[in-house]
A and B are shown apart, each in its own frame.
Chain A
Amino acid sequence: MADLSFDQTQQSKFGKTTLRIILYVLLTLFALYYLLPLFVMVTTSLKSLEEIRTGSLIALPREITFDAWKIAWASACTGIQCEGLRPYFWNSVLLAVPAVLLSTLLGALNGYVVAQWRFRGANLIFSLMLFGCFIPFQVVLLPMARLLGLMGIAGTIPGLIFVHVIYGIGFTTLFFRNYYVTIPSELVKAAKVDGANFLRIFWSIFLPLSLPIIVVTVIWQFTQIWNDFLFGVSFSQAGTQPVTVALNNIVNSTTGVKEYNVDMAAAIIAALPTLLVYVVAGKYFIRGLTAGSVKG
């Protein structure tokens, strides 16, 4: 009996180790597969054009040069202007920061009302907001263009902020509503008896509880708005274009030789802020997605 069980444990231990090894090999392969494009982008952006033409795509640069990055940032041509990504990058910042803040704040207020201040028709309004999440961008392009024209903010950064805030409210409301329904309603009752009003309860009790969900919403909204191309290309004009549109213009408006190193550098620059947000706030993102009930 004793021998038999000893054999079995030996065997299962061996089987477990083999499975672990296979698992790690597979995971490593997947990771490499996912990292390969980034690797090619980074190495290509650090090569000179000469080296790109003669060398292999996945080879490391023989000589590292940041020329392509400088050109992409400050002097690459988007159509007739040759100022690089810099002005458009700042356009994107000026657009994304207020749009993210506004849509997050409105989502928090909406979620608070829908979850904790039930009123007749609250469910209907929440359903309509959810429905708004699933309307394809293309459908709203023409009506939105008309609306922006009527409001006199067509082709401006405030116009783009407006579009992104409107489009973001559905998602941000959903996030905050789902977070706030887990908070016991007795908290609101207690605060009401204590004499606090609607805004006071939101400000003093609900907002301080909301850090995880604020982080989730900010990351989500920032990624959406920074990476957006369709609204950017539709509702902007020369001078107000966001970085994604400028990137497209840089890549598409080369004359003669295609400067792959500049294109790659520009693409990385355009993607850096979202990467940065994930690195800085990523752990809160996971925590916020899984954080449910608030224990009081």
Chain B
Amino acid sequence: MAPILDIQNLFKNYGTTEILKNINVSIEPGDFLVLVGPSGCGKSTLLNCIAGLEPTTGGNLFIDGQDMTHVSPKDRDIAMVFQSYALYPTMSVAKNITFGMKVRGVDAATQERKLNEVANQLQIEPLLNRRPGQLSGGQRQRVAMGRALVRDPKLFLFDEPLSNLDAKLRVEMRSEIKKLHQNLGATMVYVTHDQIEAMTLATKIVVMRGGVIQQIGTPAEIYNKPANLFVADFMGSPAMNLIPATVLRNGKGAQIEISREGKEPILLHDQKAIDLPEKVILGLRPEDIAEAGFRAGENIQEAECHVEMVEPAGADTYVVSELGGKQVTARLHAETRASAGENLRFAFDLAKASYFEPETGNRLN
């Protein structure tokens, strides 16, 4: 299938400041692409470049095979939902939704029909005659979506559309956007700084930092095989444990040695580590460290650790201990008997381990 959006070697400068550096991304029709990264990473700028609201400095951008690099936003066949919703304050909800069609000279009957379709789909029929100022945050959000949906474009662009909503509404709208994507089969590009949103919505994630793409992949790839320390740390909550370690080799194979303050180091066997350099950073997700006896897997290694803090979180209990000079979080079952100040036997699932080069931060395995 031909890519619906294809970004090739895209650069963007403001004066001498480089905002985007050599961006290459392409997505298939029906994809849900999420651009994620900390604030200032260039993800919103990239979205604005796709929309044509920001001129690019270099590179090319194709939408459905056509070069759109220098085409104005209105001719790109896109629709966009903004963080502040950007509803037209003096127009009613109905006028907000039909404004685009009116500007493009669509006849009144079609406008009416499409308006009703979208209003029905988003359940905003009772709001059609109200002004944006009379709506709640969630309702405004729906209207903003309606304004995009009614256009039936090749690409939907979302610029942090949920960040102005409270936590409960955000989760609701998140699943609604996901449902919408599944029902419409539309192609969407979505910007967020919230890695959970990225994980739940995306079919493909682009992690960015400082205007550079760190990793492109499916949510599972990004989560299980982060390409570098930045991605490992950014994606996932609580964050991946990144523990400095030394690789020891003997006749039998490789061992990972993790130092501990005032105690003998922990030794974990992992045959994968045989080809690694001596100094590495071991990455283990909190859920890959469990209480001994509660975890099965191909390579479970156990070790006794000192529990420093216990944080019950309802479904799970997070237990913090110190390994290799780092706070290490383990995700235990809710009924664990771990208590702060005591020792507990942990099970490390090394089959899930990631190894990173300490200097460059790049993934080694």
Asked if residues A208 and B90 are in contact (CB atoms below 8 Å), the reply is: yes
The chain A residue with its CB closest to the CB of B53 is A189
State whether the Cβ of A286 lies closer than 8 Å to any Cβ in chain B: no
Query: Contacts A209-B89, A294-B89, A296-B132 known; A195 to B100 CB distance under 8 Å?
Result: yes
Closest partner residue, chain A, to B80 (CB atom): A193
- Cβ B74 vs Cβ A296 within 8 A: no
For residue A192, CB closer than 8 A to chain B, the reply is: yes
Please give, as numbers and ranges, the residues of chain A lying within 8 Å of B103 by CB-CB distance.
194-196, 200
The smallest C-beta distance from A194 to any residue of chain B, in angstroms, reads 4
Chain A facing B: main interface SS: helix
Is B51 a contact of A193 with CB atoms below 8 Å? yes
Does A16 count as interface, using CB distance less than 8 angstroms? no
Interface bits A173-190 vs B (CB < 8 Å: 1, else 0): 000000000001011011
Give 20 pairs: A residue, B residue, CB < 8 Å, sorted on A: A186-B84, A186-B86, A187-B86, A189-B53, A189-B82, A190-B80, A191-B88, A192-B74, A193-B79, A195-B100, A200-B103, A204-B91, A208-B90, A295-B89, A295-B133, A296-B84, A296-B85, A296-B86, A296-B89, A296-B133
Q: Which positions in B face A, CB cutoff 8 Å?
A: 48, 51, 53, 72-74, 78-80, 82-91, 99-100, 103-104, 132-133, 147, 151
In the assembled complex, the Cα of A200 lies from the Cα of B89 at a distance in Å of: 15
Q: How many chain A residues have a CB neighbour from B under 8 Å? A: 19
CB pair B86–A190 under 8 Å, yes or no, is yes
Check A194/B74 contact, CB under 8 A, given A209-B89, A295-B133, A296-B133: yes
- Cα(A205)–Cα(B85), bound, Å: 15
CA distance A190 to B148 in the complex (A): 10
Please give, as numbers and ranges, the residues of chain B lying within 8 Å of A296 by CB-CB distance.
84-89, 132-133
Residues in B neighbouring A187, C-beta threshold 8 A: 86, 88
Give the contacts of A195-239 with B (CB-CB under 8 A). 195-196, 200, 204-205, 208-209
Contact of A205 among B73, B84, B90 (CB under 8 A): B90
Additional pairs, 16, CB under 8 Å, beyond known A189-B73, A189-B80, A204-B88: A189-B86, A190-B80, A190-B87, A192-B73, A193-B78, A194-B103, A194-B147, A195-B74, A195-B100, A196-B99, A200-B103, A205-B90, A294-B89, A296-B86, A296-B87, A296-B89
What is the bound-complex CA distance between A209 and B87, given in angstroms? Answer: 12
A282 to B182, CA, bound (A): 55
Q: Which residues of A contact B51 (CB under 8 A)?
A: 189, 193
Measured CA separation A190–B158 after assembly (Å): 12
A203 to B80, CA, bound (A): 22
- B84 neighbours in A (Cβ, 8 Å): 184, 186, 296
Chain A minimum-CB-distance residue to B99: A194
Rounded to whole Å, the gap between the CB of A206 and the closest CB of chain B is 9
Closest 6 CB pairs of A and B: A194-B100, A195-B74, A190-B86, A208-B90, A186-B86, A296-B89
Q: Give A184 to B84 CA distance when docked, in angstroms.
A: 8
- In the complex, the chain B residue whose C-beta lies closest to that of A200 is B103
User: In the complex, A195→B84 CA distance in Å?
Assistant: 19
Min CB gap B261→A, angstroms: 51
* Known A295-B133, A296-B133; contact A193-B74, beta-carbon cutoff 8 A: yes
A209-B91 Cα distance, complex, nearest whole Å: 10
Most buried by B among A184, A195, A196, A200: A195
Give the distance to chain A from B210, nearest Cβ to Cβ, in Å.
24
In the complex, are the beta carbons of B104 and A195 less than 8 A apart?
Answer: yes
* Cα A295 to Cα B136 with chains together (Å): 12
Bound form: Cα–Cα A294–B51 in Å: 25
Most buried by A among B78, B80, B91: B80
- Chain A residues positioned under 8 Å from B82 (CB to CB): 186, 189-190
Instruction: Give the docked Cα–Cα distance between A205 and B88 (Å).
Output: 6
